[in-house]
Amino acid sequence: MAAEQAGASPEELALRLAQSQREAEELRKELEETNRGVVALYGELETQAEQLRQANDLKSRFLAYMSHEFRTPINSMRSITRLLLDRIDGPLTEEQEKQVSFIQQNAIEFAEMVDDLLDLAKVEAGRVEISPGWFEMVDLFSALRGMFKPVLTNPAVSLVFQEPHDVPTLYTDDRKLSQILRNFISNALKFTPKGEVRVSARFIGEGMVTFSVADSGIGIAPEFHQSIFQDFSQLQSPLQRRLRGTGLGLSLSKKLALLLGGTVRLDSEAGKGSVFSVTIPVQLQGAKPE
């Protein structure tokens, strides 16, 4: 190359130089165009992201308003059915009692649904207050045991709380943790026709603790392991048709676990039962224990 250039005349060299300059100029123009294109695309993406944010915000606000407004009429239904069932306004026939109890049961379910929606809206709007405190696992387990006692109506299923041994005193939001476990346990009881639902806690090291709810129920095929954690997601099964629910419990639990600095996990196979677990820090990060 050097020898070639050494042999070239000054005119030839000038020509080549001009040619390279032209090429460089073309390249620069092309680059500039690409650059402008990228900037335009980026702007478009930003606009779409903003629109998505607004839509999401609107959805959260709608959910919050709606669920809030539903509370008053539901509560009056609940108190009126209670008055009727307490015979404050006189006796009821057997059939009337059945019907009023049915209304009461539905009002209670409706109220739970509305509470879930409101919670979800609050989480999405970033308006959930985390209030951590010190508490013992055994106390949480005994509170849960008390809560589930009245709903254990299937004698073929037992609910077992395994005594936690190596779990240290926790510093986190016990009400949120309890809400996650309540969702897991009520699902496990719903989808376990016979056998056992076992709740346990284990210290797994590095400041983390895992709570598991294991059932011997219908199980979940691997292809649904991700989707059931999304809003309103419910799987088809003969059991599902008889049961109610909104499909919000797991999505709410996943969001609450994130707020507590943790994660949720599912191990399950169809027909072989399921283990839902939540792993959170023993001490909520960023919160200052007194």
Q: How far apart are CA 166 and CA 70, in angstroms?
A: 44
Residue 67 binds to ligand ATP (criterion: CB under 6 A): no
> In terms of C-beta distances under 8 Å and separation of at least 24 residues, what long-range contacts does 206-209 make, across chains too?
207/281, 207/282, 207/283, 208/262, 208/279, 208/280, 208/281, 208/282, 209/167, 209/168, 209/170, 209/279, 209/280, 209/281, 209/282
Segment near ligand ATP (CB under 6 A); pick from 27-35, 125-133, 135-143, 229-237: 229-237
Which of 60, 67, 74, 116 binds ligand ATP (CB under 6 A)? It is 116
- How far apart are the C-alpha atoms of 122 and 110, rounded to whole Å? 18
Bridging pattern class, strands 170-172 and 133-135: antiparallel
Q: Which residues bind Mg ion (CB under 5 A)?
A: 187, 249
Is residue 261 a contact residue for ligand ATP (CB under 6 A)? no
Stretch that binds ligand ATP, among 20-28, 35-43, 171-179, 180-188 (CB under 6 A): 180-188
From 135-143, 145-153, 159-167, 184-192, give the range in contact with ligand ATP by CB under 6 A. Answer: 184-192
Q: Would you count residue 233 as binding ligand ATP (CB under 6 A)? A: yes
* 63 is a contact residue toward ligand ATP (CB under 6 A): no
Nearer to ligand ATP by Cβ, of 85 and 239: the residue is: 239
In the bound complex, what is the minimum distance in angstroms from residue 245's beta carbon to ligand ATP? 3
Does the protein bind ligand ATP through residue 216 (CB under 6 A)? no
Candidates 188, 199, 214, 260: give the one binding ligand ATP (CB under 6 A).
188
**Who's near 159: CB < 8 A, 6+ residues apart?**
145, 148, 152, 185, 189, 196, 197, 199
Please check whether residue 230 is in contact with residue 248, taking contact to mean a CB–CB distance below 8 angstroms: no
User: Residue 246 interacts with ligand ATP (CB under 6 A)?
Assistant: yes
Is residue 245 part of the contact set for ligand ATP (CB under 6 A)?
A: yes
Structure tokens of 275? Answer: 């283990």
By beta-carbon proximity to ligand ATP, the closer residue of 177 and 188 is: 188
Distances in whole angstroms, Cα of residue 38 to Cα of each of 32, 42, 43, 47, 227: 10, 6, 9, 14, 34
Q: Which is nearer to ligand ATP, 157 or 170 (CB)?
A: 157
Total number of residues that touch ligand ATP (CB under 6 A)? 22
Q: Tell me the three-class secondary structure of 157-182, residue by residue.
A: EEEEECCCCCCCCEEECHHHHHHHHH
Q: Which is nearer to Mg ion, 167 or 176 (CB)?
A: 176
Q: Which residues bind ligand ATP (CB under 6 A)?
A: 116, 183, 187-188, 191, 215, 217-218, 220, 228, 233-235, 240, 245-251, 274
